[in-house]
Amino acid sequence: MWYLCGLGSNIEPQKNLAETVVRLLHAHGSVWLSPVVHTQPKGIETERSFLNALVVVFSLLPPGQLKNEMNALEESLGRDRSDPMSSLKDRPIDIDILEYSATGMFTGSAIEEPYYQELFSGVTENVSARVAIRVMGHALGKAPATIHRDLGTGDVVIVEEGQNLHHHAVKATLAT
């Protein structure tokens, strides 16, 4: 199953977003990463701004089990999911499964957040809001990127970055 997920962080966001991408890469072998954008908080009382991005991963796990895996990843980076107010507090990482598909084609119809809608459609209002994050020595986040982990060597290879991401259904959801 292909999963379209939203990532958000406002506690050490460059570090925690990059670490999340690395852990998703190690767990799933490949990650499709949208541009990373700087956003203002909505729905929580904080002065800390967020970094947000979309990722696409493939997993054999059903949605409920993958959500449990994502929750465990959030907790490993310091999010207290046992706190009933956790959705109203600053967070090192928040991972939301926005949509899943057996074919890798996404509609985006369930995406409510405007910044995720913009990333999904490729129409980012403010291109200067894009932020680079360091993922295993690579500066990513200014343009969509396909990241592949070579399981034989453990190296990370940027398969493709930039405008030519429309050659695969999943990559098409992360337009430039």
Note the pLDDT tens digit of each residue in 16-27. 999 999 999 989
- Token pair for residue 16? 């925690």
Cα–Cα distance for residue pair 29/51, rounded to 1 Å:
23
Per-residue pLDDT band at 172 (split at 50, 70, 90): very low
> Which of 51, 56, 50 has its CA nearest to residue 28?
56
Q: What is the pTM of this model?
A: 0.86
pLDDT at 90 over 60: yes
User: So what's the pLDDT on residue 89?
Assistant: 85
Choose the CATH number for 2-172 among 3.30.60, 3.30.70, 3.10.20, 1.10.150. Answer: 3.30.70
User: So what's the pLDDT on residue 154?
Assistant: 63
Q: What percent of the chain has pLDDT over 70?
A: 82
Cα–Cα distance for residue pair 67/83, rounded to 1 Å:
17
Per-residue pLDDT band at 124 (split at 50, 70, 90): low
SS3 157: strand
pLDDT at 129 over 90: no
Beta strands 138-140 and 133-135: pairing type? antiparallel
Cα–Cα distance for residue pair 25/64, rounded to 1 Å:
20
In this structure, of 86-90, 98-102, 164-168, the range with the lowest mean pLDDT score is 164-168
